[in-house]
Amino acid sequence: MARRIVAAGNWKMNETPSEAAALIKELVPLVKNDEEDVILCVPAIDIIPAKEAAKGSNIHIGAENMYFEEKGAYTGEISPAMLVDAGVEYVILGHSERRTYFAETNETVNKKVLKAFEHGITPIICCGESLEQREQGITIDWIRQQVKIAFLGVTADQAKTAIIAYEPIWAIGTGKTATTAQAQEVCAAIRECIKELYGEGVSEEIRILYGGSVNAKTAKDLFDQPDIDGGLVGGASLKPEFGQIVNR
Ligand code: 13P
Binning pLDDT at 50, 70 and 90, where does residue 177 land? Answer: confident
What distances in angstroms separate CA 165 from CA 153, 162, 219, 224, 231, one per listed residue? 19, 10, 14, 16, 7
Which DSSP symbol is given to 151?
T
pTM of the model: 0.98
Binning pLDDT at 50, 70 and 90, where does residue 100 land? Answer: very high
Binning pLDDT at 50, 70 and 90, where does residue 173 land? Answer: confident
The 3-class SS string of 156-203 reads HHHHCCCEEEECCHHHCCCCCCCCHHHHHHHHHHHHHHHHHHHCHHHH
Contact call for residues 181 and 222 (beta carbons, < 8 A): no
Q: What's the pLDDT at 74?
A: 98
Residues 6+ apart with CB under 8 A from 52: 21
Q: Once rounded to an integer, what is the mean pLDDT over residues 68-89?
A: 98
Judge if the beta carbon of residue 167 lies within 6 A of ligand 1. yes
**60 a catalytic residue:** no
Binning pLDDT at 50, 70 and 90, where does residue 34 land? Answer: very high
Supply the residue whose CA is at minimum distance from atom 5 of ligand 1. 234
b/e per residue, 15-29, with b = 16+ CB within 10 A? beeeebbebbeebbe
Average per-residue pLDDT in the chain? 97
Q: Once rounded to an integer, what is the mean pLDDT over residues 47-68?
A: 98
Q: Once rounded to an integer, what is the mean pLDDT over residues 132-150?
A: 97
The correct CATH number of 6-246 out of 3.40.50.300, 3.20.20.70, 3.40.50.1860, 3.30.360.10 is 3.20.20.70
Binning pLDDT at 50, 70 and 90, where does residue 135 land? Answer: very high
Judge if the beta carbon of residue 232 lies within 6 A of ligand 1. yes
Q: What's the pLDDT at 147?
A: 98
**167 a catalytic residue:** yes
pLDDT tens, residue by residue, 223-234: 999 999 999 999
Catalytic residue selected from 64, 97, 129, 167: 167
φ/ψ (deg, to 5) at 237: -85, -5
Examine the pLDDT at 176 and tell me if it is beyond 90: no
User: Could you give the percent of the chain with pLDDT greater than 70?
Assistant: 100
Judge if the beta carbon of residue 94 lies within 6 A of ligand 1. no
- The neighbour count for residue 7, using CB atoms within 10 Å, is 26
Examine the pLDDT at 1 and tell me if it is beyond 80: no
Q: What's the pLDDT at 109?
A: 98
